[in-house]
Amino acid sequence: MELFAVVSVASLILGIVAMWLTCKKRSVVGNYPKDTIVLHQIRRGPYAPSISPFCVKLETYLRMSKLKYQHVYSTQMSLKGKVPWIELNGQEIADSEFCIEFLNKKQLHPSTMVRRCAVVSGVLHYEVYFVPDDVLWSAVCYVMRFNFVPDYVPWCLVLYRWVFRVNEAWLEEARIPVLFRWYVSRFARRQTWSQGHGRHSQAEVDRILQSDLQAISEFLGTKPFLLGREPSQVDCAVFGQLSQFKWNMHGCLANTLVTETFPNLSAYCERMKERYWPDWDEHTLMGRKQDK
């Protein structure tokens, strides 16, 4: 009887917490100075600046396009119920790809960024961000930006992290509370089941991810960045995803694939990190700890 009471009370508490987490989807647009881009994302990750590939993607894009932004770290979801999201002059934009599209249209980038190519002090300066639209919209780029990388590969990450639970120590390092782990695991199980990957065994997911990463690795080949000599916005999406496998997924095949099986992916991650995240360690929980 006593056990029954304890279990009932515990279930009630868990239920309330789960409901609170689920309902916490309405965003609050704050009062910020005009033209301030406010990036809403979850707090920093242990070995990469976020445990969310989409947060790393969007923040890398902001850095790539030299836009000034302000952080808000919270679990406050966008109106679409996801992170990251941005707000600008009271307007909320959800979904990393829509944020990028919105900011591109606003053309808030410094003027040097708007030119595709310019001669600065006698040196030919390639515009790193504005690759021609026809290239960005080519079939491969399209699939990388909208389909394969954002809607397919991340489910393997979700499964390893939350369903197969390949690295419990990492969850500690990411400072994820036990109750929250339990909630996310249940949620991830449901989500991955609906999406489809969650119906596969771990060995099958391993196989899927290996083929996915092989495709990216072959597309990258010996190029420094996905579209050639200079990075473009496609790199943000791919880097966001790979950053998790390389730095935030120790102890599972996803990490071995990036660091050993496809070394060009690992070198690519290092190049992106070096170029856009010279302050990487300041933005990771473990990096900050080492500094102390």
Per CB under 6 A, residues contacting ligand GSH are 52, 54, 81-84, 95-97, 150
Judged by beta carbon, residue 183 or residue 268, the one nearer ligand GSH is 183
Which residues touch 11 (CB under 8 Å, ≥6 apart)?
A: none
| Cα–Cα distances in angstroms (integers) from residue 181 to residues 110, 186, 249, in the given order | 41, 9, 16
159: left (phi over 0), alpha (psi -120 to 50) or beta: alpha
Question: Least CB distance from residue 157 to ligand GSH, whole Å?
Answer: 8
Nearest-angstrom CA–CA distance, 184 and 12: 17
CB of 22 to ligand GSH, least distance (A): 8
Q: How near is the Cβ of 4 to ligand GSH at its closest, in Å?
A: 32
What's the closest the beta carbon of residue 236 comes to ligand GSH, in angstroms?
11
* Closest by CA position to 154, among listed 199, 205, 200: 205
Q: Are 237 and 149 in contact (CB under 8 A)?
A: yes
Closer to ligand GSH by Cβ: residue 126 or 187: 187
In terms of CB distance, is 129 or 155 closer to ligand GSH? 155
Q: Which two tokens stand for residue 217?
A: 């690795």
Query: Least CB distance from residue 14 to ligand GSH, whole Å?
Result: 18
- Which of 54/129 has CB closer to ligand GSH? 54
Of residues 9 and 179, the one with the C-beta less far from ligand GSH: 179
By C-beta, is 43 or 127 nearer to ligand GSH? 43
What are the b/e assignments for 171-203, b being 16+ CB within 10 Å? bebbebeeeebebbeeebeebbeeeebbebeee
Report, in Å, the least distance between residue 145 CB and ligand GSH.
10
CB of 37 to ligand GSH, least distance (A): 15
**Six token digits for residue 213:** 């990463």
| Residue 114 or 143 having the CB closest to ligand GSH | 143
